[in-house]
Amino acid sequence: MSIESTRRVLDSYLRGHSLDAVAPDAVFTVMATGQEAKGRVAIAQLLDYFYHQAFNATAEERNLIIGEGHAALEADFTGQHIGEFAGIAASGKVVHVPLCVAYDIQGDQITRARIYFETDTFRQQVS
């Protein structure tokens, strides 16, 4: 897979929020907890939980590194803490949390994502 192909897949996913760019059997893993979402429906639910249920948030891209079949996103996850997360009830506070995601791409679709979310930084901001 070329760098250009990898970039197209990531652009479709990150800019258009299209799960068509995610393989039907893809696996997204939250590295801090080992929680896995397998398949598009579970991945959509995981992302909905992070961005709309636990937080009303966005991820602002800082860096995007693209290679052949692999990519890494560094972002600032920013939003209001509106629901339970990491055992902490909604605080209503706005948080800014470093986020990094490593992606594997095959056949023009994301097959795996490893999500690194700085939970300790979140905890410090809501305590």
Q: Which amino acid is at 106?
A: Q
In what side-by-side order are the strands of the sheet with 22-30?
35-38, 22-30, 109-117, 94-106, 70-81, 55-66
* CB neighbour class for 89 (10 Å; exposed up to 12, middle 13-18, buried from 19): exposed
Report the CATH number that the domain containing residue 77 is assigned in CATH: 3.10.450.50
Q: In this model, does residue 28 exceed pLDDT 80? A: yes
State the pLDDT at residue 15. Answer: 87
Which one, of 33, 27, 41, 39, lies nearest residue 113 by Cα? 27
Asked if 101 contacts 115 with a C-beta cutoff of 8 angstroms, the reply is yes
Domain count, the chain: 1
Q: Residue 29: what pLDDT?
A: 98
Domain region containing 68? 3-126
Supply the pTM of this predicted model.
Answer: 0.93
What is the pLDDT averaged over residues 61-72?
97
**Averaged pLDDT, 20-37:** 96
